[in-house]
Amino acid sequence: MKILLCFGTRPEAIKMAPLYHELLNNNFEVKVCVTAQHREMLDQVLDFFGIIPDYDLNLMQPNQSLNGLSANILFKIDEVFADAKPNLVLVHGDTTTSSVVALAAFNSGIKVGHIEAGLRTYNKQAPFPEEVNRQVTSRLADIHFTPTNQATKNLLNEGISNSNIVETGNTVIDSLLWTINKIESPEYLYPEIESLKNVIPTNKKIVLVTGHRRENYGDGFRNLCSALLTISERDDVAIVYPVHMNPNVTDVIYEELDGKKNIYLIAPVSYPAFVWLMQQSYLIVTDSGGIQEEAPSLGIPVLVTRTVSERPEGLEAGFSELVGTDKNNIVESINYKLDHFKIFELQLNPYGKGDACDKIVKYLNIFKQNKL
């Protein structure tokens, strides 16, 4: 059985990396195609997880439009399909790469498996364009690997057959645990982490901040910066912000926060370095989906700078909280966590326990025997 994994961004690579190795370990014929929708951040992940793509479309361009990216993927992926001749294409999550590759595979008569299927807000603008990408991919996929029971229910409510849904947990937990095991190994020395140890203060409560969502461009990020400036007045706090490379983010963040007391603006870090940063943190403020999934395994609370989340499980379990982009709400929520949070009661991460890839591969072994 020939399987082609297609992805283009750092989050996809993180979540597909352990699956790639699990497939190889179970004697599947696997090839990897990257669109390089992101470039430098994608390459960091590939290097850390030891993945050399068989096909690299190298499509990243500064401020590229979604339509331009989509057209380039659709045009170039045919050559990959012709050479790889896959029986199954696996895509992940909610990116432009995922939805367009799924469409191209469908047009070519190739079966599609969707990793991290079924997440929904049912709001086309939040997140944009990810929500529509997810829904489009669900209409095209033949196999839906869902991370949670709620994601499964979403698909069932949309008319997807239960026989085509496999509930697995999220592969990001597999990646997280693998990474922690590697960076905590006594013989492993990662220069970037060693460098961060000389920059990040250890005697303060670290508030780790990330942000990249399109719906927060402009006023959303300015409001966040204003809130962080207020929090930075606390002497017991250090705000660490790896700033996303998109100029819509970078320009605002550096204009508002550069050089301010107790605020550490740093370049985007590699995945292992970011995992180390999360481990050092008291609180995370983010609009990221993946961090909402990872943080429960580390026991760290998350404030989500969005008004809606396609990951309700963490909200319901109390691991995360929606705070939007209102300055006063962000300030109040951060202060409350800093002053009152102690530790989560021991409970299972609702997004899985690190065996998602094993479940996916076990299903594909059965699928291989019965469907191909």
Exactly one of 22, 116, 131, 310 is catalytic; name it.
116
Neighbour-count burial of 210, counting CB atoms closer than 10 A to its CB (0-12 exposed, 13-18 middle, 19+ buried): buried
- Residue with the two structure tokens 């700033």: 243
Exactly one of 94, 167, 287, 294 is catalytic; name it.
94
Exactly one of 38, 92, 120, 130 is catalytic; name it.
130
Exactly one of 120, 212, 213, 306 is catalytic; name it.
212
- Residue with the two structure tokens 């982490």: 193
* CA–CA separation, 283 and 188 (whole Å): 26
Whether 214 is catalytic is yes
Judge contact between 169 and 356, C-beta under 8 A: yes
Best CA proximity match to 281, nearest among 336, 241, 234, 316: 241
* CA–CA separation, 143 and 363 (whole Å): 10
Half-sphere exposure of 95 (CA within 13 A, CB side): 22
Whether 134 is catalytic is no
Residue 313 token pair: 């499980």
Whether 244 is catalytic is yes
Whether 326 is catalytic is no
* CA–CA separation, 8 and 130 (whole Å): 14
Half-sphere exposure of 274 (CA within 13 A, CB side): 26
Exactly one of 39, 213, 244, 306 is catalytic; name it.
244
Whether 94 is catalytic is yes
Exactly one of 39, 134, 214, 311 is catalytic; name it.
214
Whether 212 is catalytic is yes
Residue numbers annotated as active site: 94, 116, 130, 212, 214, 244
